[in-house]
Every structure is written in structure tokens, then in C-alpha cells.
Structure 1
Amino acid sequence: MSLFSRRELLDAAARITALAAWPAGAAADDYPSRPIRLVIPYTAGAAGDQIGRPWADRTAPLLGPIYVENIGGAGGAIGSAAVAQSAPDGYSLLLGNGSTQVLIPLSSAQPAYDAVRDFRAVYRLITSTLAFAVHPSLPVKDLQELTAFAKANPDKLSFGTPGLGTGNHLVGEMFRRQSGLGADFIHVPYRGMGPATNDLVSGQISSVIAVVSSQILQLHHAGKLRLIAVTSDRRLSGAPDIPTVFEAGMPGLGYAGWFGLFAPRATPDTVVERIAAATRTAMADPKLRESYRSQGLEPDVDSGPDKFQRLVEDELARLAPVVKAIGLKRD
């Protein structure tokens, strides 16, 4: 299975060529002396915006102007590759996650970037969980009922994700294997979670596997979609009615996601530490922490470059055999 189509690779190359011409920054000891760009590698309105934009707003008084640029496509790979090829001066940052920094590099036959060679971790902002969401017309309330319905209606159920090789996709593939559904549960990759969610609400697809966010919770409470399971090991405080995959008897579907800041690999230590220190101060703000918790996210108030880098490298090592075993990795 190839992660990128030829068109997506050409689009990514065009983006990278344009962004490589971004003007060089000032010396590291003068950092920051101009606006910082935060690339969110997903379409506007998706979960990345609800994490990255509050960080930018709260950190701007500490670092100066920060503007957000959404570069969606290929499950986050296009925007991530753009930052990997940017000048390593601290003026281009990536809001990466377990998909962009772990699963996409592991899944692609021709990765556009290397998570370790091309990036350095700065600070993990939040941890998150995924949720199985279905259209309210679907007569299922848990994973067992979803499995039974899919088997009784072969080739009629689909699940949307923000792209091939994402954590959402990984969980969907593991569910297909553990439930025995196989091809009866059809994967539909999108260019972001926003379009996938819109198609679920309108009934174009049967289900999605989504990062839990304020939007997803609001749609659940409004009856526009139904959450039937979360991949965390405990129920969400914002939606305690939703059972976990552990309660559903599928502990193998447990998955903890995260979002955090990354810089191009050669970014100076002093710049990385400056961004991390400002972020640590911002994360101490109760209002910012509450804004994340209200979305079903858990803020990380004790992260840092070295600690976060180890987490990324550990996950790469842990998930490499899993990705290959379920067929996401093409030799």
C-alpha cells in the first residue's frame, strides 16, 4: 500500500520548493526577531486548529507574533515535509502528532521525510484519544453491534480517517483484524478530519475514527453523530456515557494520541530551548489548560525537548512491527 499518490508527491514537491525560499532568520541569540510560522498539517477546522491556535495565542506575548498556516493533504505528510525542508532557524514550526512523526514515516514506501533525521522535538502539548463515531441512523450503540451489523451487511459500511497511515487509520485496521470484518469495513481516506466529519454528519459515509475534540463532542451531544467507543483506558469526563475499547473487550485497540511542536533538525539548541521555555510558561496558564480539557484533551505541563524526543523514538521502535504486520508497510 503506497502512502502517497503521484499527484500528492508532486504537490508536496511544489510546496517544499516554494517554502525553501523563505528568508533566513536572524542570529540565534537575537531570536525571535520576526513572526514565527506554525504549520498545522491539516485542513482548517480540524482538531489541529483547536490545539495549535490556542497555543499560538497564549505564547505570542512571550515570543512575539505567531501566525498559523494550514497545509493539509496526505494525512499530514505534505505540511510536515514543508517544515522539514524549511530553514532551521526557529521561524517555521510544525504541530506534529503520532501520525505525522511516527506512522507516516513507518508506513510510506518512499517517505518524504525522516522523523528523526529531519526533525527535533520541542514540546508535547497534549495527549488525546480517538473515538469511533457512527451516523445516528446506524442501529449500533457499541463495537459489538457495529461488528454484527457490518457482517450482516457486507461492503456497506465505511470508516473515514484523515488519511492513509494516520493513527486513525491504524486503529481502524486493527479493528478490522480483531473483529474479523476485513473488507466488509471499507476505509475512506480524506484530506483531513474536517471533511470526513462533514460527510459523516450528512450521511455520505457510515462512520469515522476521529480525534476527540470539542466539535466531535458537541456533535455527539446534539445527536448529529453517535460516539460508540473511545480508545483511552478510561471514560472521558466530558462524555462519561461513551464506553472504552477495553470495556468492549478489545484492549488491543487502546491508543493514546498526542500533538506537539517540532522544528527542523538543525535548529540551534538555544532557539529550541527558548520555544520550549515559553511553551512551558504558557501551559501553566489555567485558562489554556481548561481550553484543552474542555475538548477531551489532556495538557502536558511537564514536557521538554529531550523527553519528547525520547517518546517519539520509542514509539517508532514500538510501532514499526505493528505497522508491518497489519499491512500498512510496503517493503
Structure 2
Amino acid sequence: MKPLLVLMLVAAWNAGAASDTTRAASLRLVNPYPSTGPLEISGSAPANKALRAMQAHAAPPLTDLVSRALQQSLAYALDTPVAVVRRAKRGGAEALEHVALVPDGRTLLLAGSDVIIVRNLLTGYDWRRDIKPVALIARMPNVLVGMPHGSDVRRVVESGIARSKRTLASSGELASSHLAGALFIRATGANIGHVAFNGAHSALRAVVAGEVTAAFVPLPAFLDYVRNARLRPQAIADDVRHPSLPDLITLSEAGLPSVSGAGWYGLFAPYAMPAQLINRTASIMAAEQDDARFSASMAQAGLRVERAKGPAFSNLIETDYGRWQAYLQARPEFAIPPAPEN
């Protein structure tokens, strides 16, 4: 990052935040994910069962890695302490409520597509009323692993080999890998049954053991198994190849451009935070993303840094929101509530 640019951005950010005399001494970064175990869910909403299934496969170490990276980057860029505050109760609702109620210019939310999109679709809660997108941090691609011996994903697309009865695993009900699998089945017309496992590692073990034909799993989990000769990566469900596996084709290259299914992590601010301050924060984050060390740390974890702020990030969320909504509405067991009135 260029020192002059950092100084200009920091000065602008501090000038905007300093107008709030009640602010705390440090910036707070709210993490809606637990350190261990599934998120706590309470209440009698029809979606509780699906939410429990979705959150049972969470990967806290990865989200902690992202929050630590942001903590270090923001602390360095702003020359101020950054405290990570965990608010993991009620499936992420606690974090959303906490951020919405503290519009002090010093509180930000780190959240993934599961909390912002899937959880809100299942409960009918409209996140747009309480928080604003600041910046996309990184994508979490999913990898297609397995397939019949001697075949590859191009043959699946070209010859319809997947139309015989097979099973396709995901890392969990309503995970991004589940959506990737659903898009794959729809795009290929494959006669494949979906099997949701309690975590990506369980799905990978099932592929190795021959219990399922193939699986979509998050790239971070697959990298733990990359040296296992019995696991064969077929393609990555993302728009571009990943630096950790540069020879692995994308599903778009294999003839399936509609199958992307990547999760993501982004930075959000309270709805009441002034737009000027949000823009300054997004600019600081963009400068950090240009730092090769930050990108390398994300790539090593299986993530892919991608920049989008303001309207561009909002459009990305709405696109993913629409894809999940279309899928869940076709599955009556999830009982999606009607959209809230504005």
C-alpha cells in the first residue's frame, strides 16, 4: 500500500469518525460466527430446523482467520486498536441487531453470504433496513471433487454420463456448496441425489470411501486433502481459476457458465453510518486488498480476494439473493416467509 494514500485515507476516516464524541477508543469488528460448535438458535420460526442444519456445518477457524486478517489490516491502516467482538447467538441475528443499534461510526460487521442471504430468506428478516454493504472482502469458491472413475466434468456435460443414478454430497444443508450442487444438477439434467453432510470434511471422507459419487465442498476444506491421491478435483465453481490450484478448470470452462455457487465474506456498517464514512472505510479496505500480503494470506486459506464496494457489492448480494430465493421457493419444506413490506 502506498504510504501517502494510507495517510490521506486515515486522516479522512478519523475526521469523519471524530465527530461522534461518545465513540469508544477502538474500532469494533463484530463476528457473527462461533469459536466452536454450531450457532445457537431459539424461537419457534418454521425455519429453525433448516437453520440448525445450515449452521451445523459452519467452519469457525476460517471465519476467525478472516476476522483476524481484517483486524490486523484495519489496525495498521487506521493506527488504532481494533477489537473483534463475537455475537454468535440466534443464527447471526444477535450480530445484526448489535450492529444496527450502535451507529457510532466505530462498529463494523464481518458476515458471509450464509448470514446475510440464506438466514434472512428463511426468517423473512430484511437486512437492508439495518445495515449497509461496505466492501466485499473475498470469495469462497466450491470445488467439484470425485465423479466416476475415468470420467471428467467435460464428459459429464458433453455425454450426459451423470444421467445414471448417482449421489452428490455437499458440506451441509443450505451451504454454498449445496447451492453449487443444485445449480450443477439443473444445468446438466443429471439424475443425482443430494446428500448433505455435517461439514466439508465429512463429505470428503465419504467421497474417499466411495459412499457418494462426488461432492461440492468449499475450497479451504479441499486444500486440507489436496495431497490425497484418491481425491480427484474436477473443476472449481467460480468465475476464475484459483491461484492455489491454477491448473484446475472452472465449471464455466467446462461448459457450465451458470454454475458458480461461491460463498463470500463482506464488511457491513450500521444503516445510520454516514455514506461519506462508509465510502472512506471502503477505500481503506480496497487499499488493503491491493496489498500482496493480504491477498496471499487469503489465497493460502482457500479464499479469493475480490473488490466490490457500494452499489457493486449491493448488486452482487441481490444477484445471489435471487438465486437462493428461486431455489428455496421450489423447496416447500423450507417454508420461506413472504418478503417484508418496505
TM over 0.5: yes
- Deviation digits for residues 66-124 of structure 1 (CA, Å, limit 9, x no counterpart): 3263838xxxx812x22211123356543223343234434x2x33x313223211111
Query: Residue deviations 1:190-247, cap 9 Å, x none?
Result: 3xxxx3224523757635423323x523422344743221122443332133232234
- Among residues 299, 306, 317, which one is paired with 1:312 in the alignment? 317
Report what 1:231 is aligned to.
237
Conserved in 2, the CA contact under 8 Å of 1:116 and 1:313? no
Q: Distance in 2 between matches of 1:162 and 1:275?
A: 34
Q: Distance in 1 between matches of 2:290 and 2:250?
A: 29
Of 37, 40, 60, the residue aligned with 1:44 is: 60
Shift of the 40–210 alpha-carbon distance from structure 1 to 2, 3 Å rule, reads farther
Correspondence list, 1:95-134, <5 A: 95-106=110-121, 108=122, 110-111=123-124, 113-134=125-146
Give yes or no for the alignment of 1:85 onto 2:91: no
Distance 1:32 1:226 in 2: 50
Q: Report the residue type matching 1:196 in the other structure.
A: A
Partner Cα separation in structure 1 for residue 270 and residue 285 of structure 2: 17
Where in structure 2 are the equivalents of 1:115-154 lying within 5 Å? 115-134=127-146, 139=149, 142-143=152-153, 144=155, 148=161, 151-152=164-165
Cα distance in 2 between the residues matched to 1:230 and 1:173: 15
Q: 1:259 Cα shift? A: 1.8
Q: How does 1:173-252 map to 2 (within 5 A)?
A: 173-182=182-191, 184-188=192-196, 190=198, 195-201=199-205, 206=212, 207-213=214-220, 215-223=221-229, 225-252=231-258
Paired residue type of 1:45 = P
- 1:282 is aligned with what amino acid? E
Distance 1:329 1:285 in 2: 44
The aligned amino acid for 1:174 is L
User: What does residue 64 of structure 1 align with?
Assistant: 81
Cα distance between partner residues in 2 of 1:308 and 1:234: 18
TM-score (norm 2): 0.66
Name stretches of at least 5 consecutive residues in structure 1 with no aligned partner. Answer: 1-25
Indicate conservation of the 8 Å contact 2:131/2:269, yes or no: yes
SS in 2 for 1:220: coil
Counterparts of 1:275 and 1:311, CA distance in 2 = 19
Normalising to structure 1: TM-score of the pair? 0.68
Ranges in structure 2 where 5+ consecutive residues have no aligned partner: 1-17, 34-57, 338-342
* Change beyond 3 A, Cα 1:35–1:163: farther
Alignment counterpart, residue 291 of structure 1, candidates 291, 297, 308 = 297
The answer as to whether partners of 2:143 and 2:222 remain within 8 angstroms in 1 is no
**CA–CA distance in structure 2, aligned partners of residues 142 and 196 of structure 1:** 21
Question: Is 2:132–2:268's contact at 8 Å kept on the other side of the alignment?
Answer: yes
Q: CA deviation at 1:271?
A: 5.2
Verify the 8 A CA contact 2:87 2:95 in the aligned structure 1. Answer: no
**Closer, same or farther: CA 318–259 of 1 in aligned 2, 3 Å:** same
2:20 match = 28
Counterparts in 2 of 1:305 and 1:235: CA distance versus 1, 3 Å: closer
| Larger CA Rg, structure 1 vs 2 | 2
Give the Cα–Cα distance (whole angstroms) in 2 for the partners of residues 70 and 179 of structure 1. Answer: 40
Distance in 1 of aligned mates of 2:319 and 2:20: 30
Deviates more, 1:268-277 or 1:59-68: 268-277
Change over 3 Å in CA distance of 1:242–1:307 after alignment to 2: closer
| Percent identity of equivalent pairs | 22
Deviates further, 26-35 or 225-234: 26-35
Q: Deviations over 1:137-173 (max 9, x none)?
A: x736533569847835x5xx34123442x43222211
User: Following the alignment from structure 1 to structure 2, what is the Cα–Cα distance between the partners of residues 189 and 114?
Assistant: 29
Relative to structure 1, the CA distance from residue 122 to residue 284 in structure 2 (aligned partners, 3 Å threshold; closer, same or farther) is: same
Distance 1:141 1:264, change over 3 A: farther
Q: Which amino acid aligns with 1:28?
A: D
For 2:268, the equivalent position in structure 1 comes to 262
Shift of 1:268: 4.5
Q: Choose 198-207 or 215-224, whichever is displaced more.
A: 198-207
Contact 2:171 2:203 in 1 (8 A): no
CA–CA distance in 2 between the matches of 1:276 and 1:189? 36
- The match for 1:169 is 178
**Match for residue 324 of structure 1?**
329
Is the partner of 1:221 in helix, strand or coil?
Answer: coil
How many residue pairs get aligned? The number is 285
Cα distance in 1 for residues equivalent to 2:86 and 2:172: 18
User: Equivalent residue of 1:253, what SS?
Assistant: coil
